[in-house]
């Protein structure tokens, strides 16, 4: 499927990631080290050099004053609104009240991260990228969203959509498939922030019903708390350590914290953390969980508030999903499961879900991924109307698209010069009970009844567009019509109603089809039988003639009474009764032809 390249970007406080739709699949793109997650850290060297991601973090213990982390906290903020930051904040010299860090605006710093993500994407995809969908927290205000958009532009990316992070996560978890009015909770505990959002799916999109959070609560706090407690247990005054020693202890705490998500115990090792002293200690998971408890309690308070803001109870939710690297911690998962009374969905990587959702949205916008509301099967049968107002199905319900199917049709009357093709959708036997998607005339060369041949083919492409081709087989002339009413984009309720009706009226519908088919046959048979009897002479014996006449009478009576099964049986009887006569007539005609030829 062709389409436009649009990147999906999670511009996170601690980590960022970029993805794109490749061959119809949303994927995250890895850097040269094979990592799909890039730390949101930027190092500004003294002589203009810039490094982003892991390279920037590696500079942190030796050069902490030049590494900017968590710049997202400053986006769209005014000087004085943030009290604490990793490097000194200055007031923008232009009098705008904006913030500067190391002489740059937060947008300019974020742009460096976005440039790096763009570079990774272009390196992996081997083509330039100019557009992106970027996610922001649900609680971001207009100024913060506008700043994010500006950062994208500074990085050379047109931001085609700003998407809220919980919505992106819900897309990644496939929650759009849960159906209308489904409600979900998105619990996002990252490196620096926490938020809980309640979403509701309506008209194919998610609405944020409520969101609560704490912009100063995340994995970083857990690292600091663990580093502090280990230091204290070894008689080290954490607060009097220099910045480099801080960084070393905190980085080791993070490593231990991550190990404890998989193991019951881990060793904390910080050799020469302050240049001379070393620290080594065994940390059981239980110790870490005890430090974690007050932070977890704060997140659960937010959950309670968000539910109450939305006027909901935990049992009103259809799913709970986890987002953010810190939700890998087993104690976090337990607390969430306990509060919501249901196990969270663990089907996606929590630290990749937002970027994946942004990529899905980018794919939909760029036309490289099918609209999520489109089904990849035909929701209802497609066909055309044939003689007697019957529905003739060409593509049955639930056929996977793309697909095509065709059938041959003929003229109902002699000398007819065109045929009307009515394209129908639905499960009912009679054309009039189905929906008409379109109609058109197919011209063909006039021919005796039943002799013209018109092939009709239906083709549904991967976008769900139905194309109908009708061909006059004799001349090879094609009429091609694209049906504008989508054949696959039908809302679920209408599909349900149609299918329900086809079940409710199954007997009536079948009776009408049987009657119509038998009537068409009778209308053909009766005049033919009359003519045959008139010209048969002694070819037909009295008992046979009687049987044929009585069968024909029965057909007429059943026709008049409108009874499907008796009519079908009577038509059958008439057909059988005339078999011998028909054969004799054919033989006689052949003899006559032979005589003519020989004579």
Distances (CA, A) of 330 to 55, 268, 289, 384: 30, 19, 9, 58
Take residue 449 and report the two structure tokens written for it. 């009844």
- Residue 323 in contact with residue 166, Cβ under 8 Å? yes
Cα 556 to Cα 356, 518, 527, 560, distances in angstroms: 68, 12, 12, 6
Interface pick for ligand AMP out of 210, 326, 378, 386 (rule CB under 6 A): 326
Residues touching ligand AMP, count (CB under 6 A): 18
Question: What span, in angstroms and rounded, lies between the C-alpha atoms of 509 and 467?
Answer: 28
Do 531 and 512 touch, CB atoms closer than 8 A? Answer: no
Paired tokens of 135: 């996610």
CA distance 194 to 301: 12
Under the criterion CB under 6 A, does residue 191 sit at the interface with ligand AMP?
yes
User: What whole-number distance in Å separates Cα of residue 346 and Cα of residue 67?
Assistant: 34
Per DSSP, 100 falls in state E
Active site residue 575: no
**Is residue 188 annotated as a catalytic residue, yes or no?**
yes
Q: Please list, residue by residue across 540-576, b when 16 or more beta carbons sit within 10 angstroms of its beta carbon and e when fewer do.
A: beeebeebbeebbebbeebbeeebbebbbebbebbbe
Least distance from C-beta 346 to ligand AMP, angstroms? 13
Here the tokens at position 123 are 């390196």
Residues 336-355 as x/- pattern, contact with ligand AMP by CB under 6 A:
---------------x----
Q: Catalytic annotation on 524?
A: no
Within 8 A by CB and 6+ apart from 315, the residues are 341
Minimum distance, C-beta of residue 384 to ligand AMP, in the bound complex (Å): 54
Smallest distance, ligand AMP to C-beta of residue 326, A: 4
Which C-beta is closer to ligand AMP: that of 200 or that of 220? 220
**Nearer to ligand AMP (CB atom), residue 325 or residue 426:** 325
In the complex, least distance from residue 434 CB atom to ligand AMP, rounded to whole angstroms: 50
Nearer to ligand AMP, 195 or 220 (CB): 220
Q: Which residue in 325, 357, 379, 464 binds ligand AMP (CB under 6 A)? A: 325
Stretch that binds ligand AMP, among 105-113, 212-220, 301-309, 521-529 (CB under 6 A): 212-220
Helix/strand/coil for 517: helix
What is the footprint of ligand AMP within residues 234-293 (CB under 6 A)? 254, 257-258, 261
**Minimum distance from residue 467 beta carbon to ligand AMP (Å):** 46
Measured from the CB atom, the residue of 197 and 425 that comes closer to ligand AMP is: 197
What tokens does 197 get? Answer: 């959002």
> According to the binding rule CB under 6 A, does residue 110 interact with ligand AMP?
no
Residue nearest to ligand AMP (CB): 219
Based on the shown chain and the rule CB under 6 A, indicate whether residue 328 belongs to the binding site for ligand AMP.
yes
Q: How far is the CB of 5 from ligand AMP (least distance, A)?
A: 25
Query: Is residue 324 within the footprint of ligand AMP (CB under 6 A)?
Result: yes
Least distance to ligand AMP, CB of residue 190, Å: 3
Distance of closest approach, residue 253 Cβ to ligand AMP, in angstroms? 9
d(CA 486, CA 458): 13
Identify the residue among 26, 76, 152, 190 touching ligand AMP (CB under 6 A). 190
d(CA 70, CA 42): 10
Stretch that binds ligand AMP, among 59-67, 116-124, 322-330, 461-469 (CB under 6 A): 322-330
Distance between CA atoms of 121 and 17, rounded to whole angstroms? 10
In this structure, the number of other CB atoms found within 10 A of the CB of residue 524 comes to 13
By C-alpha distance, which of 364, 368, 370 is closest to 460? Answer: 370
Which span sits near ligand AMP by CB under 6 A: 7-15, 202-210, 277-285, 446-454? 7-15
Among the candidate windows 142-150, 299-307, 324-332, 368-376, which touches ligand AMP by CB under 6 A?
324-332
Which region, judged by CB under 6 A, interacts with ligand AMP, from 19-27, 320-328, 408-416, 541-549?
A: 320-328
Region from 216-224, 426-434, 523-531, 545-553 binding ligand AMP, contact rule CB under 6 A: 216-224
Closest by Cα among 127, 184, 134 to 155:
134
- Are 113 and 40 in contact, with CB atoms under 8 Å apart? yes
CA angle 535, 541, 545 (to 5 degrees): 70
Name which of 14 and 381 has its Cβ closer to ligand AMP: 14
Please list every residue from 393 through 452 that binds ligand AMP, using CB under 6 A.
none
Task: Look up residue 341 and give its two tokens.
Answer: 């009374």
- Cα 10 to the chain's mean position, in Å? 19
Active site residues per annotation: 10, 72, 165, 188
Q: Which residues bind ligand AMP (CB under 6 A)?
A: 12, 14-15, 190-191, 218-220, 254, 257-258, 261, 324-326, 328-329, 351
């Amino acid at each position: 499927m062709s389409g436009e390249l649009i990147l999906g970007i999670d511009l996170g406080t601690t980590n960022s990631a970029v993805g794109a739709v490749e061959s119809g699949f949303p994927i995250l793109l890895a850097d040269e080290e094979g990592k799909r997650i890039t730390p949101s850290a930027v190092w500004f060297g003294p002589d203009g050099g810039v490094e982003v991601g892991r390279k920037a973090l590696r500079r942190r213990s030796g050069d902490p004053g030049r590494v900017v982390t968590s710049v997202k906290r400053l986006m769209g903020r005014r000087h004085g609104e943030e009290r604490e930051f990793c490097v000194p904040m200055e007031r923008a010299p232009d009098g705008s009240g904006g913030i500067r860090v190391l002489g740059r605006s937060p947008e300019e710093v974020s742009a460096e991260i976005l440039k790096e993500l763009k570079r990774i994407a272009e390196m992996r995809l081997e083509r330039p990228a100019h557009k992106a969908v970027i996610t922001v927290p649900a609680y971001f205000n207009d100024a913060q969203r506008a700043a994010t958009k500006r950062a994208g532009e500074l990085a050379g990316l047109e931001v085609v959509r700003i998407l809220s992070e919980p919505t992106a996560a819900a897309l990644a978890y496939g929650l759009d498939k849960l159906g209308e009015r489904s409600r979900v909770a998105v619990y996002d505990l990252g490196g620096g922030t926490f938020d809980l959002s309640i979403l509701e799916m309506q008209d194919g999109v998610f609405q944020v019903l409520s969101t609560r959070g704490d912009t100063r609560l995340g994995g970083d706090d857990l690292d600091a708390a663990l580093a502090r407690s280990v230091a204290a247990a070894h008689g080290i005054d954490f607060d009097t350590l220099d910045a480099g020693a801080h960084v070393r202890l905190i980085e080791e705490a993070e490593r231990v914290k991550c190990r404890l998500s998989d193991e019951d115990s881990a060793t904390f090792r910080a050799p020469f953390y302050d240049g001379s002293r070393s620290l080594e200690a065994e940390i059981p998971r239980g110790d870490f969980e005890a430090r974690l408890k007050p932070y977890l309690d704060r997140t659960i308070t937010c959950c309670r508030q968000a539910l109450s803001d939305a006027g909901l109870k935990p049992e009103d939710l259809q799913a709970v999903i986890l987002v953010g690297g810190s939700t890998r911690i087993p104690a976090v998962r337990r607390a969430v499961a306990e509060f919501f009374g249901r196990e969270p969905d663990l089907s996606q990587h929590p630290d990749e879900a937002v970027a994946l959702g942004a990529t899905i949205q980018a794919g939909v916008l760029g036309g490289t991924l099918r609209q999520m509301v489109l089904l990849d099967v035909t929701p209802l049968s497609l066909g055309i109307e044939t003689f007697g107002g019957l529905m003739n199905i060409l593509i049955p319900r639930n056929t996977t698209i793309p697909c095509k199917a065709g059938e041959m049709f003929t003229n109902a009357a002699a000398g007819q010069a065109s045929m009307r093709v009515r394209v129908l959708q639905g499960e009912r036997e009679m054309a009039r009970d189905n929906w008409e998607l379109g109609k058109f005339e197919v011209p063909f060369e006039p021919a005796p009844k039943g002799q013209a041949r018109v092939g009709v083919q239906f083709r549904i492409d991967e976008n769900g567009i139905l194309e109908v081709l009708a061909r006059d087989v004799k001349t090879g002339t094609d009429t091609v019509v694209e049906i504008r009413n989508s054949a696959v984009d039908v809302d679920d309720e209408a599909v349900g109603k149609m299918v329900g009706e086809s079940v409710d009226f199954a007997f009536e519908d079948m009776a009408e089809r049987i009657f119509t088919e038998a009537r068409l046959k009778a209308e053909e048979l009766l005049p033919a039988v009359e003519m045959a009897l008139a010209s048969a002479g002694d070819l037909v014996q009295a008992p046979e003639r009687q049987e044929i006449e009585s069968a024909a009478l029965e057909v007429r009576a059943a026709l008049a009474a409108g009874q499907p099964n008796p009519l079908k049986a009577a038509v059958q009887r008439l057909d059988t009764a005339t078999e011998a006569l028909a054969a004799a007539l054919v033989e006689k005609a052949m003899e006559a032809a032979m005589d003519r030829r020989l004579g």
